[in-house]
Structure 1
């Protein structure tokens, strides 16, 4: 029997807890990118939120609609997508819409309170179709709930991080080491990162270390281990730091996907990263990256030290990394997302 495919495009609404502000947030950027590309493909798209501020770092053509928590008074929609664990409970209350849950991380890890941890964990058992950004998340959810999810992956705009043909970066004399962390959360591996930086500074005089974050707070003893402390640079400046770096270090214990390492790879930078779960969808040890176990301070230090004296290996890893990063485009993600929405519409 032939399956009839729906020809009228469904109205799609994303529900976020908060959106906007000066700080670039990876999870919010993903929502903005998905909605932007769906809009470009001719869909009517809404962003529903409980808190909204201006978004100076993203040119969105969709004006967020602010609604009260647990309100069911929303614009007409066919598809409603939860995007953070509290919004999953809200979406679950709706009827007469197709309900989805965009899972960008294992969100119980964000919660220090045991009640909030269990509430977040319970959302994965709600009857919402799960859309994940990595196979690590899909596998983790299936182990916990015995439910399948759809991995749509994640993306960047690779061309934004590449130098124009014929251009080269004027590299400083010292080898440039870069790390980027959105905040100082313990699971970001910040303590291990600065222990490594301290030891590198004690043993090498030929390096310059730059740390970029959106969190202004930094311990004085951490600051002594680095040369440059940069807070919330504009996108163009961040890209320039990626391009100038010889080594990019990423130390999160857990990442649903992890955009900064992929951005560094797109900029033709060699990366040394902790096995954070989601990173395995694009980073392969000894092929386009060096991957070390989480919390293994010695392995992280030795891997960086090894690469400092081997520019040829760094260049080979960086070349392969850039080729990999070019495959992670928004068109591919939206193709998967669109197929899921349209197939479900026809059932």
Structure 2
């Protein structure tokens, strides 16, 4: 079948869903065309056809069996084009955070099936719009995201890994301030530790503690970032799925994450990670202190997470997408 996926950009973050699903669908023998503005960023190695247009309009959308718009501005030109059956791919419930809330909400009320990416995300859309959706979960490429030696083996001190998405770049729900406050409190409870930070937007955060910026522009570099740390920390208040903790598990690193909703499909507290309530800095501090000083628990969580992540593949996600589209094609 022919799929067209109009996107605003393919930068880091949630657009990994589009890149991974597009590549997997190509590998399954389908024709996939990504359509995006001529100056839009592409951070991922695509095997799908890439078509750049001056802007996303009804005229610039190519014909297809299915058109899969995602971020809300892509929905309206796709729907108005009438060039293929529209299936609304939601990578996050935009009315929660975008300024154009009413327009974002309207993008869910077109007469098209909706894809969500976790059970929590499905419930969120259902509560906000009254419309059900089909869950296509995320995955992880275990051939890339896999263990490698910890830096603590050579440095003699443990390290925390953190992905910095700051408020200054619009990421008001990522909890960066909570992370830094917890780290500051940790210094009073445990021996010295290192902080490894990836900052996708190039943020140079004025943190209260020294930290090491890790330049990770590719999946293999991100995998090393996760794998070399002893604990990966995620502090988001809400996420539609939240891929980094799953990627960190695949890299054999113990995970401490907030219960952000979208990660409930794959997190099991006390078995493959430790969960804390969003914005609970005190509990985050105590859990990190416990894990930094309890090597047996830290290693067990890392091992369990590594084994658990193996079944979360992008091919499985693509199989579910393919089955949905074939089902829709018959109706």
TM-score, normalised via structure 2 length: 0.92
2:319: which partner in 1?
Answer: 335
What is the aligned partner in structure 1 of residue 126 from structure 2?
142
Superposition pairs for residues 101-250 of structure 1, below 5 Å?
A: 101-111=88-98, 113=99, 116-163=100-147, 168-169=149-150, 171=153, 172-184=155-167, 185-220=171-206, 222=207, 224-250=208-234
Q: Flag the 1:346–1:215 CA change in 2: closer, same or farther, 3 A.
A: same
Moved more, 174-183 or 68-77: 68-77
Aligned position for 1:5: none
Give 1:123 shift: 1.8
What residue is the counterpart of 1:47 in the other structure? Answer: 34
Distance 1:56 1:151, change over 3 A: closer
CA gap 1:320/1:15 in 2 versus in 1, 3 angstroms: same
Q: How does 1:288-307 map to 2 (within 5 A)?
A: 288-307=272-291
Partner secondary structure for residue 93 of structure 1: helix
CA contact (8 A) 1:157 1:330 kept: yes
- 2:15 and 2:316 map into 1 onto residues whose CA distance is 19
Paired residue total = 326
Aligned alpha-carbon RMSD (Å): 2.0
1:156-204 per-residue CA deviation (whole Å, 9 max, x = no partner) reads 20221224xxx75462310111111344422100111110111123443
Aligned to 2:81: 94
Q: Which moved more, 1:298-307 or 1:61-70?
A: 61-70
Q: 1:15 to 1:123 in 2, by over 3 A?
A: same
How far residue 280 of structure 1 moved from its aligned partner, in angstroms, is 0.6
For residue 71 of structure 1, report the CA deviation from its aligned partner: 2.3
Deviation of the 1:56 alpha carbon: 5.8
* CA drift at 1:97: 2.1
In the TM superposition, residue 35 of structure 1 has moved relative to its aligned partner by: 1.2
Q: Tell me if structure 2 keeps the 8 A contact 1:18–1:50.
A: yes
Cα shift at 1:122: 2.5
In structure 2, the residue matched to 1:35 is: 22
Q: Tell me: CA distance 1:313–1:76, structure 2 relative to 1, closer, same or farther (3 Å).
A: same
Is 1:278 the counterpart of 2:265? The answer is: no
Distance, in Å, in 1 between the alignment partners of 2:183 and 2:226 is 18
What secondary structure sits across from 1:256 in the alignment?
coil
Matched residue, 1:3? none
Q: Which moved more, 1:232-241 or 1:252-261?
A: 232-241
**Contact 2:198/2:214 (<8 A) preserved:** yes
**For residues 316 and 284 of structure 1, what CA distance do their matches in structure 2 show?**
13
TM-score normalised by the chain length of structure 1: 0.88
Question: Structure 1 stretches of 5 or more lacking a match?
Answer: 1-9
Residue-by-residue CA offset, 1:209-267 (whole Å, 9 max, x unaligned) = 112111333342x1x41331235444333222211111111001111111111110001
Provide the rounded CA distance (Å) in 1 between the counterparts of 2:76 and 2:33: 19
Partner in structure 1 of residue 5 of structure 2: 14
How much has 1:105 moved relative to structure 2? Answer: 1.0
The corresponding residue for 1:6 is none
